[in-house]
Amino acid sequence: MAREQNRFVCQACGAVTGKWAGRCESCGAWNSISEEAGSASSGAPKSAGRGRKLETGSLAAVEAEPPRRLSGIGEFDRVCGGGLVPGSAILVGGDPGIGKSTLLLQVMAALAKSGARTLYVSGEEAAAQIRLRARRLSLETAPVALVTETSLKDVLATMEAKPAPDIAVIDSIQTMWSDALEAAPGTVSQVRAVAHDLVRLAKRTGTVLLLVGHVTKDGQIAGPRVVEHMVDTVLYFEGERGHQFRILRAVKNRFGPTDEIGVFEMTDKGLSEVSNPSALFLTARDQWASGAAVFAGIEGTRPLLVEFQALAAPTSYGTPRRAVVGWDSARLSMVLAVLEARCGMQISGQDIYLSVAGGLRISEPGADLAAAAALVSSVLGRKLPEDCVIFGEVSLSGAIRPVGQPEARLKEAAKLGFKRAIAPPGARLDGIEVATVDTLSGLVDLIREG
Ligand code: TYD
Ligand code: MG
């Protein structure tokens, strides 16, 4: 008889092989394969017989969607695309200790107070610990149903029992385990099976399912691809260590825009909403220095002003340092190359540090011009005007490309008291003096002339 062999599963993509390898052949991840109990061939169950003919229905006859549930926590509702869609599954990922449990407890308490049936399943903390957190948040009287359990079977039975909860939180998906599998909790096979069963049940009962997912060292939810494909919405809760701000970001949403962000502040009484984040990401004007530039950006559907800070200093290394926080290092290299090649700037002998103030991560190409302005300002030692915002995309030829929604950006700037802007051609707004630049060397001249 053949020896029962364990199988090897890639913890990044879920691919199953019969032997260990240093690199996963299907997704290319290194050192991601680990051994799990169960045989490689026992993956898909064999089913016998033919399928049955399904009843088809016309699209027009599908019932209109039931109304979304609003938690009343505006930043959270907006990131979800305007409230929670019944029957949908939402994955909330983030580093340990970033505040996922705090946020979800606050959301659940708000929903429970508005009359929704809620269920909070914790596999990580004891009831007493959760009560302690609730007391700190002044939410200990909120009618949230609480269970501490890790067995998937029992959790499913609890969620199925009538009346089914309107909203259920599973904190966290890695702690739940299905006894149908031999693999240990937290492995890809378990996470996939647990997510699959929970999502199916939620679709059937119309429960909104909020799954908490831990993030691995390299910033991915364990078994990311497998779970991200199963859920309707993926939210990441992020923040820089040492900063009070927390950002909830939608990276996938079947029911709303992605790139939407919600901004929170972690206080001693939990997370409070920051409804005017632009003010938060700008430093006090009396500390305004060379190397600072205010970017008028759009995050999701909302305009947001953030400050780019650059520092150029003579290098003491053979290869100068390029350090960047909150922006893409490849884009920094590109902007530096264009400044050298097209604008005659001498940068190669300098260390360059670039950071986005406040711990925010910017991924919009429209930030190129603001980053370039901060760099040029630092290299030339010339301050930019304090009341000026900047946006535009830089192409390799040194041309400045227009970006989306220039008017919304300028309006946000005007609202916060800015009087001037440097922008690609076509941007205008009453009350803001716009200097248009169509090449990067135009920007350099503008800063040089002051
Ligand atoms: P938590 O929600 O437990 O994080 P996660 O579930 O993502 O692991 O948050 C834990 C951190 O938040 C902890 O370091 C303490 C801090 N915190 C506050 O600062 N204020 C509060 O009111 C609460 C409840 C937590
Ligand atoms: Mg937690």
Q: Is 115 left (phi over 0), alpha (psi -120 to 50) or beta?
A: left
Question: CA-based Rg of the chain, rounded to a whole angstrom?
Answer: 26
Residue 2 has what DSSP assignment? P
Looking at this protein, which amino acid is placed at residue 190? Q
Nearest to 274, CA basis, from 355, 211, 358: 358
Q: How many angstroms separate the Cα of 383 from the Cα of each of 148, 261, 276, 293, 369? A: 56, 30, 26, 9, 16
Half-sphere exposure of 385 (CA within 13 A, CB side): 16
Is residue 286 within 6 Å of ligand 1 at its C-beta?
no
Side by side, the strands of the sheet bearing 322-325 are 322-325, 350-356, 302-314, 292-299, 388-390, 420-423, 433-436
Q: State the pLDDT at residue 322.
A: 93
Q: Which residues of the chain have pLDDT under 50?
A: 1, 42-43
- Rounded Cα distance, 186 and 175, in Å: 6
pLDDT digits (tens, 9 = 90+) for 245-301: 888 989 899 988 887 888 899 999 999 998 778 877 776 666 788 999 999 999 877
Residue matched to tokens 């009087």:
419
Write the pLDDT tens digit of every residue in 85-129.
999 999 999 888 899 999 999 999 999 999 999 999 999 999 999
Please identify, by atom number, the ligand 1 atom nearest to the C-alpha of residue 98: 7
Q: CA 156, CA 430: separation in Å to the nearest integer?
A: 58
Among the bound ligands, name the one nearest to the CA of residue 104: 1
Query: Does the reported pTM lie above 0.85?
Result: no
Cα of 204 vs centre of ligand 2, distance in Å, is 27
Query: Does ligand 1 lie within 6 Å of residue 101's CB atom?
Result: yes
- pLDDT above 90 as % of the chain: 59
What ligand has the least distance to the C-alpha of 102?
1
Which of the 8 DSSP states describes residue 150?
Answer: -
For the CA of 136, the nearest atom of ligand 1: 22
Please provide residue 427's backbone torsions phi and psi, each rounded to the nearest 5 degrees.
-85, 125
Domains and CATH numbers, the chain: 7-39 (no CATH), 68-275 (3.40.50.300), 279-449 (3.30.230.10)
β-strand 420-423 against 400-401: which pairing, if any?
unpaired
